[in-house]
Amino acid sequence: MSTLGFSETMQKEPSDTPQSKPEPLVKGGRRVIDCDVHNIPAREEDILPYLPPFYRRRGVRLLNRHEYPHPESALRKDSAPADGGPIGSSLPLLQEQLLDKYEMDYAVLTGEWSSMGLLPDVDYAAALALAYNDYVIEHWLPLDRRLLGSIRVAAQDPAQAAEEIRRIGSHSQIVQVYMISATAMPLGQRFYHPIFEAARDMGLPIALHPGWDGMGISHAPTPVGYPGSYFEWHSLWAVGLMSQLCSLVCEGVFEKFPGLKFVFLEGGVSWVPHLMWRMDKDWKGLRSNHPLVKRLPSEYIVENARFSTQPVDEPPESGDLIHIFRMIQAEKTVVFSSDYPHWDFDDPFHALPRLEPELANRIFYENARELYNLPENPPLKTELDQGHD
């Protein structure tokens, strides 16, 4: 196992108290790529021109999360535009509060309205995904070269999802396919392989994001049923991600698509060592169950899975998180995300304990740069002037 960037940290054991905060980083001290930024259309009507006439008359009809309402607001109130638009709909605010404030090289837009991936009307869901993608490509990506896009797909119809990936996957600012982690069946099953094949052919990783588990055509968000509150539901988001990763490994997806990467967003990282160790142990005695799994499951996970930091796990001793980074080879597997503009936003100056420079560079920048095949040198400031006051 690699120990890149851990040796000095391991020798200097932190003495944080449960009340202490990670030491803030120095502004401008490192390059940053944010892998999970939620931009939101200003109005549902903004999407209508991109829908076919039949669905345009129907309008935008999505699932809602009223079953688990946040006790205050799931979005940062200071990110509300002055014009009264939805939080997350203002590019100038996103630039001011995120891109410029933290001197970010890139931000990967993951958007909202993800529940289209759980609608039972698969053709309507596919039309919504296409319309949303075209809206982002026209109204967001051209305005700031630091913005990178995600192809929204409705996975309940893999054929249409694959067609959408091939339609826009070569766009210069599109860097990944985006799916919600809640599905009608485990993702490793062959039903979803057309999506994986298209992503592989276009050279794009696939991002999985929780947040709609237990709604639409998905199943209960936990193996024991439905939680009773937002707090309980939100605390268990990683359960779905864990289940999907286990399925992808056990069903041989990484053998059939060896170069394909999956990005597990907004689930933290502390659950990853447990899953790796349990799967490795079971594989040694049960490998006959899954002849497509030819190596230790942990090897596939390190090679093919990436995990975003947010919501970063906050153990009483910050050094414990550094131990977890070592366990999962974070110099390969972990990428930074802020989750802007959500209530539990993590900023790159305070979110993580102080790391050795080489490891910090991998987590905050280099892992994502390699994952998304980004150039060594980001756009020059002069390239950002259009649409950026």
What pLDDT, in 10s, does the model give residues 113-123? 888 999 999 99
In angstroms, the CA 254 to CA 264 distance is 15
Please check whether residue 272 lies inside any domain of the structure.
Answer: yes
Mean per-residue pLDDT, 355-374? 96
Q: In this structure, is residue 16 part of a structural domain? A: no
Place of tokens 């051209």: 142
Residue 388 lies in a domain: no
CA distance 181 to 188: 12
Residue 7, domain member (yes or no): no
- How many domains is the chain built from? 1
By residue range, what is the domain housing residue 342? 28-375
The pLDDT confidence band at residue 380, using thresholds 50, 70 and 90, is: low
The per-residue pLDDT for range 193-229, each reduced to its tens digit, is 999 999 999 999 999 999 888 889 999 999 999 999 9
26 pLDDT above the threshold of 50: no
In a domain, 381, yes or no: no
**Structural domain includes residue 234:** yes
How much is the pTM?
0.90
363: in domain: yes
For the stretch 234-286, pLDDT in tens is 899 899 999 999 999 999 999 999 999 999 999 999 999 999 999 999 999 99
CB 33 within 8 A of CB 102: no
Residue 204: inside a domain, yes or no?
Answer: yes
CATH number where 229 lies: 3.20.20.140
